[in-house]
Amino acid sequence: MVVCTIEESGEHIVAGAGELHLEICLKDLQDDFMGGAEIIKSDPVVSFRETVLERSSRTVMSKSPNKHNRLYMKRDHWKRVLLSPLMKDVLVQGMILRFARRS
């Protein structure tokens, strides 16, 4: 699966299932659909997303930087129905593209 988005700046962001997957997709795009036109691309950017699936057994506390506020948290169980839509939107790796114009 490949996800493509266009930012307001005009950058095209392509996200896929790893660096090799993105390289193959970009080569196909360049050779098959762009007639060999140059694609200017950035180094890959990896986005990590984590979640907790199990109920926690303890309460944890975090203080604000000024030490005036405290936040207590305990992880409770989410229903699988709620968790599934969140998990399928995870982007594994993205690459920013700039398309060069031919002179």
Model confidence over 35-86: pLDDT tens digits?
888 888 888 877 766 666 677 788 888 888 898 888 887 776 655 544 444 4
Q: Is the pTM of this model over 0.85?
A: no
Amino acid at residue number 43: D
Q: Kindly provide the b/e burial profile for residues 39-62, where b requires at least 16 CB atoms within 10 angstroms of the residue's own CB.
A: bebeebeeeeeeeeeeeeeeeeee
30 Cβ contact partners less than 8 Å away, ≥ 6 residues apart: 36, 37, 38, 39
3-state secondary structure of 33: helix
Residue 1 has pLDDT above 80, yes or no: no
